[in-house]
Structure 1
Amino acid sequence: MRTLYFRIVLTFIGIAVASAILGLLVTNVYYLTKLRDFNDQKMIHIATEFKRLYEQTPGADANAYLSGVAEMGFQIYVVNGSENGVSYGAPFKHRKIDDASIRAVLNGGIYNGMMQERHLLTVTGFFENSIRNSVGLPVRVQGETQAWFIRPNLEQQIGEVRVLVAVLLSATFLFSLVFIVILSRYIVRPVKQLTEATNRIVGGQYDIELDVTRKDEIGNLARHFTHMAQALKRLDAMRQEFVANVSHEIQSPLTSIRGFAQSILDRQASPEEQERYLRIIADESTRLSSLSKQLLTLAALDKETGEVKRASYRLDEQIRQVLIVTEWEWSEKQLFIEPELPEIVISGDADLLYQVWFNLITNSIKFCKPGDCIAVSITSDDGIVVTVRDTGPGISAEELPHIFDRFYKADKSRSRTKAGSGLGLAIVRKIVELHGGTIEASSAPGKDTIFTVKLPQL
């Protein structure tokens, strides 16, 4: 299996090689469009000047003159009328040239070998050390026409530069490979740390330490991963507490039901006590039924992945119905109800949304003291907004961010969720989200608690 480190190194090497090839192609295009014609004309001009200078000196020794020109950094190949050739200066690596080209120069033509394309990459022909990569001119020497083929001796003129450039490019490429191999480890190291952290989380260890000070994508990933680990730790703790709470809540009524039922069966209770025991059994059965219903509801909502079944209905009438159903509760606690419910139609699943309003209102009733007030209002400025406000004990800043988390139960001595299983508000948020809405809560100890539900007006 190829590791990420191997893939990164291979990718960088591929980039370096591809860049070198593309750079060579660009250089070749630039040479074709800009430099080749210029270089050819320059070489023709130089060769013409050599010819002119020689012809302006009658009787000059051609061998001495050509030897002097060669010393200035040129390679020369001279062919006389008998087509015998002599070289001056550094020897040509390739001496082959077409006889037809030689005869054409002897007949007064000009040979332009630098403009001929003999290579896949034309720019490499610039460095070809051969007679055919030269400029040929006819020159009169002691009454005889000779063909002079001249090209610059690049080894003599720019040999050191070529070596320096070759060393520079080779060293740059090799150092790039070394740095790629070394620095890629630093790129892969945070990923390896994330992998190790993942394995620890799988093993149930949520206290992980990652470098969250980095400002790049790896640092952002580490921060999100750390937040995820903390959330998983909190969720795992809440689940364990939930299991303990549910086990207690199930075991307690079952123990009561079994004990009172056994007393009735053993005929150890009077008729009055039997009636009281039966009522207790009925109440405990109701508690068990409510708990199981909440668990089933949440499990069913988790499976919902598509759109809920929508139908248009009067939202204000539905909330009034909830207030009527719960009237005996808020009347018994002598609570004041302030409904502000203008007529409004909503499109949604009426059964699911009924659970939202019922849960929020009964939750407020549960935690309000006698004489407190519960206000329920509907507005439709930007979508549909339902607000449930109560003047109960409030919620602390530490608990407020977690009240919608499933299985969450805070300190029972001061929690608004003290009498529940920690599932009610989680169900409310899930139903609201399935309708494409949001729910928010704001509160503080000793201040009003406000739940705000925002739903799109479809």
Structure 2
Amino acid sequence: MKTLYVRIVLTFMAVAFVSGIIGVVLTSLYYQEKTKTNNEDKILQMGQSIRELYGQDSEMNLDTYLTGIAALGFQIYAVDESMRGKMFGGAFKRGKLTDEEIQSVLSGDIYHGMKEENNRLEIFSLFENSVRNTVGIPLPTKDGSNALFIRPNLEQQIGEIRIIVAVLLGFTFLVSLVMIVILTRFIVKPLQVLKKATQQIGKGDFNVGLEKSRNRKDEFGDLAEHFARMAESIRQLDRMRQEFVANVSHEFQTPLTSIQGFARAVLDKQVNAKQSERYLTIIEQESKRLSSLSKQLLKLAALDKEDQRLQMTTFRLDEQIREIIIMLEWQWSEKRLNLELELPEISIAADAHLLYEVWLNLISNGIYFTPIGGTVSVEIRDDGADGIVVEIRDSGIGIPESELKLIFERFHKADKVRSRSSSGSGLGLSIVSKIIALHQGTIEVRSEVGKGSTFIVRFPR
């Protein structure tokens, strides 16, 4: 399997190769459209100048004259009326002219070989060392007409330049490859750091040490920043998981220890009948507490499932809350609490079973933590576009401000809150918060120690 480093290097190489090919094609098109015709016209003008210069002294030996011209950087193929040809300057390496083409030039026509004979990429046709890649002009002499086929001897004129350009391009390509190989390491290095960090997290080490990467002002810096935040979130989740396991163990261990102790005392017949009955009552209460705790844990586990689906129905919210008030009558009547209810007729689309858990928990908490003769009030109101609001207020002992942000955490029971309930598990409000979140709602708490608490639940329309 190819690593990202190898893939990037190969990608850059492919880009360089394809770019070179496209550059050649585009340059060829440019040469064909802008330069080719001008280039042939220039060579034609040179040929005409060569002819005019010879015409000034027609007694001059033609071979000597053409030899001198060729020495200036030209390749010349001269054919007389007897179809005998001679080459001057560098030899043509390929190509052959037909008799018709030669006769046409001898008759006074111009041969445009540079326009007609090149079927390859146009840019390479400039360097084609062929007798067909020439301009042909007639040259009158004292011995009759001659046909001159002329082209620049590029090897003589720019041979060194071609070598220099070729060496330049070759070294440029090689240096580019070396730089790609080296610089790609710097591109891949942040990913290798993140890879190492993921391996650390997989081993349970959340100190990933991405400070240098997080200081980068680019996408890798943003990625490292988000990754560090994710690692911190996982660290917190792992800490919460460990605390959760410890709290569950503690919550189970305490009643189990009591049950074992009292059961052993009864079995060993170390107590009288009255004490035995009291011990059995305690065992029953602790068993109920364990059963309640187990149900709450199962409820949380069910709510935590990602595929949790709400059984949505439309029902009367005011009637549901009245039902809970009636069910809890023995609790609030025993404490002689004053109930203030504002329950106008309001229907809501929600999971009725889960919302029942919410109101039962919040109202029973309000009753439990309110002293004898206190007040518990429940209000429902429709805020129009803002949704439906339910407020549950009590005049109980209140919650310290430092604990307000923590009361929805599982098993959270700070000292002052713990004193409010010796039997609570600390899961009730966690379940309430989860159910409300599943309904896309929010819950807000306002409280003052010694004056009571207010829980405000909002559901979207």
TM-score (normalised: structure 2): 0.82
**Greater alpha carbon shift after TM alignment, 237-246 vs 272-281:** 272-281
The structure-2 alpha-carbon separation of the partners of 1:216 and 1:277, relative to structure 1 and needing over 3 Å to count, comes to: same
Instruction: For residue 2 of structure 1, report the CA deviation from its aligned partner.
Output: 2.0
Instruction: For residue 319 of structure 1, report the CA deviation from its aligned partner.
Output: 3.9
The SS at the match of 1:86 is strand
Query: 1:117-196 to 2 correspondence within 5 Å?
Result: 118-196=118-196
Partners of 1:340 and 1:117 in 2: CA distance: 100
Q: Would the aligned equivalents of 2:194 and 2:224 in 1 still touch at CA under 8 Å?
A: yes
Instruction: For residue 187 of structure 1, report the CA deviation from its aligned partner.
Output: 1.9
- CA deviations over 1:150-191 (Å, ceiling 9, x no partner): 112333444454334323322222121111111121222222
The structure-2 alpha-carbon separation of the partners of 1:369 and 1:219, relative to structure 1 and needing over 3 Å to count, comes to: farther
> Which residue pairs with 2:358 in the alignment?
356
Query: 1:355-434 to 2 correspondence within 5 Å?
Result: 355-362=357-364, 376-382=379-385, 384-386=387-389, 388=391, 392-396=398-402, 400=405, 407=410, 409=412, 411-413=414-416, 421=425, 423-434=427-438
- CA deviations over 1:70-124 (Å, ceiling 9, x no partner): 3443322211222222233333333644444323322333222212354542321
1:202 aligns with 2:202: yes
The structure-2 alpha-carbon separation of the partners of 1:226 and 1:304, relative to structure 1 and needing over 3 Å to count, comes to: closer
Partners of 1:178 and 1:225 in 2: CA distance: 32
**Greater alpha carbon shift after TM alignment, 300-309 vs 262-271:** 262-271
> Which residue pairs with 1:250 in the alignment?
252
The SS at the match of 2:132 is coil
> Which residue pairs with 1:229 in the alignment?
231
Instruction: For residue 414 of structure 1, report the CA deviation from its aligned partner.
Output: 6.1
> Which residue pairs with 1:31 in the alignment?
31
**Aligned with residue 293 of structure 1, among 289, 292, 295:** 295
Q: Which amino acid aligns with 1:36?
A: K
> Which residue pairs with 1:218 in the alignment?
220
**Greater alpha carbon shift after TM alignment, 291-300 vs 419-428:** 419-428
Q: Which amino acid aligns with 1:18?
A: V
> Which residue pairs with 2:111 in the alignment?
111
- CA deviations over 1:213-234 (Å, ceiling 9, x no partner): 1232222222222222222222
> Which residue pairs with 2:347 in the alignment?
345
TM-score (normalised: structure 1): 0.83
**Greater alpha carbon shift after TM alignment, 103-112 vs 121-130:** 103-112
Q: Which amino acid aligns with 1:346?
A: I
Q: Which amino acid aligns with 1:40?
A: E
Instruction: For residue 444 of structure 1, report the CA deviation from its aligned partner.
Output: 8.7
Instruction: For residue 141 of structure 1, report the CA deviation from its aligned partner.
Output: 2.0
The SS at the match of 2:137 is strand
Partners of 1:6 and 1:345 in 2: CA distance: 63
1:94 aligns with 2:94: yes
- CA deviations over 1:225-271 (Å, ceiling 9, x no partner): 22222222222222222222211211211222233334445555455
The structure-2 alpha-carbon separation of the partners of 1:385 and 1:54, relative to structure 1 and needing over 3 Å to count, comes to: farther
Q: Would the aligned equivalents of 2:111 and 2:135 in 1 still touch at CA under 8 Å?
A: yes
Instruction: For residue 292 of structure 1, report the CA deviation from its aligned partner.
Output: 0.9
Partners of 1:11 and 1:417 in 2: CA distance: 67
The structure-2 alpha-carbon separation of the partners of 1:334 and 1:179, relative to structure 1 and needing over 3 Å to count, comes to: farther
Q: Which amino acid aligns with 2:431?
A: I
Q: Which amino acid aligns with 1:393?
A: I
> Which residue pairs with 1:439 in the alignment?
442
Instruction: For residue 311 of structure 1, report the CA deviation from its aligned partner.
Output: 1.2
> Which residue pairs with 2:21 in the alignment?
21
Partners of 2:401 and 2:48 in 1: CA distance: 99
The structure-2 alpha-carbon separation of the partners of 1:394 and 1:77, relative to structure 1 and needing over 3 Å to count, comes to: farther
Partners of 1:121 and 1:335 in 2: CA distance: 99
**Greater alpha carbon shift after TM alignment, 284-293 vs 61-70:** 61-70
1:261 aligns with 2:263: yes
- CA deviations over 1:318-353 (Å, ceiling 9, x no partner): 344445545666677787776665543322211123
The structure-2 alpha-carbon separation of the partners of 1:39 and 1:345, relative to structure 1 and needing over 3 Å to count, comes to: farther
**Greater alpha carbon shift after TM alignment, 104-113 vs 380-389:** 380-389
Partners of 1:444 and 1:126 in 2: CA distance: 91
Partners of 1:193 and 1:381 in 2: CA distance: 52
Q: Which amino acid aligns with 2:258?
A: S
- CA deviations over 1:111-157 (Å, ceiling 9, x no partner): 22212354542321122122211111222122522111111233344
**Greater alpha carbon shift after TM alignment, 53-62 vs 183-192:** 53-62
The structure-2 alpha-carbon separation of the partners of 1:200 and 1:15, relative to structure 1 and needing over 3 Å to count, comes to: same
Q: Which amino acid aligns with 2:51?
A: K
**Number of aligned positions between the proteins:** 453
The SS at the match of 2:214 is coil
The structure-2 alpha-carbon separation of the partners of 1:129 and 1:453, relative to structure 1 and needing over 3 Å to count, comes to: farther
Partners of 1:44 and 1:306 in 2: CA distance: 87
The structure-2 alpha-carbon separation of the partners of 1:114 and 1:7, relative to structure 1 and needing over 3 Å to count, comes to: same
Q: Which amino acid aligns with 1:137?
A: I
**Greater alpha carbon shift after TM alignment, 308-317 vs 423-432:** 423-432
Q: Which amino acid aligns with 1:384?
A: G
Q: Would the aligned equivalents of 1:394 and 1:449 in 2 still touch at CA under 8 Å?
A: no
Q: Would the aligned equivalents of 2:315 and 2:349 in 1 still touch at CA under 8 Å?
A: yes
Partners of 2:39 and 2:179 in 1: CA distance: 39
> Which residue pairs with 2:286 in the alignment?
284
Partners of 2:364 and 2:108 in 1: CA distance: 113
Q: Would the aligned equivalents of 1:387 and 1:450 in 2 still touch at CA under 8 Å?
A: no
Partners of 1:247 and 1:103 in 2: CA distance: 111
Q: Which amino acid aligns with 1:221?
A: L
Q: Which amino acid aligns with 1:243?
A: V
> Which residue pairs with 2:85 in the alignment?
85
Question: What are structure 1's unaligned runs of at least 5 residues?
Answer: none
Partners of 1:268 and 1:153 in 2: CA distance: 125
